[in-house]
Chains A and B, each alone.
Chain A
Amino acid sequence: DQQVKQNSPSLSVQEGRISILNCDYTNSMFDYFLWYKKYPAEGPTFLISISSIKDKNEDGRFTVFLNKSAKHLSLHIVPSQPGDSAVYFCATGAGSYQLTFGKGTKLSVIP
């Protein structure tokens, strides 16, 4: 039973438009949420995080939104750039210990 679900295995977006990646989780004890980006043949790279006391965190073109009542997390990238093309994983946990990862969403930004 997946505790963290990324229901869209892939997403295509035009350059300059907004990319929205979604993630749902089941465990209400989770209080730390992260997004990672992964290029082929590389390890995941930390992108942005949010704790359960917030509902939004912004870093440049990247914004993470947390809806605790819906147990839903999203990542917005605006404007999207071709270099953003990668697999994006959401991860959740209690603190940073033993993060549970989703299966990833492959984002393709079309020039």
Chain B
Amino acid sequence: GAGVSQSPSNKVTEKGKDVELRCDPISGHTALYWYRQSLGQGLEFLIYFQGNSAPDKSGLPSDRFSAERTGGSVSTLTIQRTQQEDSAVYLCASSLGGSPSPLHFGNGTRLTVT
């Protein structure tokens, strides 16, 4: 079946511009996560959505970052006024939620801020 789909796969933007990254999770997965991986670093948690509950935004690095999940499915991560330190691979993952279940990741969006 289809896995987690992310678009675009690559995005180059100028410093100060806004960007939107999209994630289409696996059908039936109630939990959705955004992580990012900067060069040479591990995966850094950003935000978590579970069903209709309020999202856990504790990992968002600044108020320039926001995310929404419409209809419990597709999610959009928005970065406003991008900075060079925002350059990273942004990874979306989904899982069945509830009792421990593995996260299934998309291939990520490589964001480069020039």
The residues of A with any CB-CB pair to B shorter than 8 Å are: 4, 32, 34, 36, 41-46, 49, 51, 89, 91, 95-104
Contacts and interface: CB of A to CB of B under 8 A. Distances in A.
A13 to B, nearest CB: 22
Contacts of A104: 42
A99 B42 contact: no
Given A4-B42, A89-B42, A102-B42, A96 B56 contact: no
Interface of B: 4, 31, 33, 35, 40-45, 48, 50, 56, 59, 91, 93, 95, 97, 99-108
A89 B101 CA distance: 17
A51 B99 CA distance: 11
B103 A99 contact: yes
Given A97-B48, A99-B45, A49 B107 contact: no
Contacts, number: 56
A43 B36 CA distance: 11
A98 B106 contact: no
Nearest to B6: A43
Given A34-B102, A101-B43, A102-B42, A43 B91 contact: yes
A1 B31 CA distance: 27
Contacts of B104: 46
Contacts of A98: 33, 45, 48, 56, 59
Given A42-B107, A43-B91, A101 B42 contact: yes
